[in-house]
Amino acid sequence: MLTIVIPTLNEESYIPKLLEVIFSHPRTWLEVIVVDGGSTDNTLQLVKKFEQVKLLHSERGRAQQMNAGADQAKHKHLLFLHADTSFDTQFLNEIYKQLESTKAGAFTMKFDRAGFWLKFYAWFTRLNFTFFTYGDQGLLIRKSLFDELNGFKEIPLLEDLEMIRRIKKKTKFKRLQQVVTTSSRRFEKHGPIKQQLKNIVIVTAFYIGISPYYLARFYRY
């Protein structure tokens, strides 16, 4: 019923936790595909410990990696997750009940660290606006719709936003109420206000038509 696709690149600190929670209960309706873009740390060794995972390799680039995973998916629904995302043990059972009624949607998000600005930013993910919807919130989509849209556009930045904009032109996009937890590492490294201002500038520039290839110079995963 559901294939989870996870792109990785040097995610040894996060991927074990995500896979552990995914496989915390046996689910015969679930397939998990990890697509690595050339990790040089212990990511691959850690993923291989989970025998249930189908491990693929592709050209580096989140869009390319997710497309490669979707191409090998067996099930009719796809869930794209970042490696530094996690959730509680009942999350998958809850969304399983919503698969047939959902063509596409994303989840509400919270960060793995406390802090006023992190909570403030996360609050906006409750709103079903494209400007507040990104890949770290997860993307649930029917494979038939994903294929119809020809997958992610293979650009170096904001492939998630670009895809969601196309989805919304085609069909209803749901804001699913289940919560995912994502890493605050980028906000901690650069400071929450500085990082968020940078995000706003880059997304606004993308909206007005500035090339993601140019914008990628100012934003590294």
Q: How confident is the model at residue 10 (pLDDT cuts 50, 70, 90)?
A: very high
pTM of the predicted model as reported, rounded to 2 decimal places: 0.93
For the chain, the average pLDDT equals 93
Is residue 219 over pLDDT 80?
A: no
Q: Beta-strand (E) ranges in 9-134?
A: 30-36, 54-57, 77-80, 85-86, 104-111
Strands 2-8 and 85-86: unpaired
How does pLDDT run across 107-133, given as a tens digit for each residue? 999 998 888 988 988 898 898 888 888
- The residue with greater pLDDT, 220 or 78, is 78
How does pLDDT run across 146-174, given as a tens digit for each residue? 999 999 999 999 999 999 999 999 999 99
For position 191, what pLDDT does the model report? Answer: 78
Q: How confident is the model at residue 83 (pLDDT cuts 50, 70, 90)?
A: very high
For position 188, what pLDDT does the model report? Answer: 76
Mean pLDDT (whole number) for 67-84: 98
- φ, ψ at 82 (rounded to 5°): -80, 150
Q: Beta-strand (E) ranges in the chain?
A: 2-8, 30-36, 54-57, 77-80, 85-86, 104-111, 139-142, 174-182
For position 221, what pLDDT does the model report? Answer: 56
How does pLDDT run across 40-50, given as a tens digit for each residue? 999 999 999 99
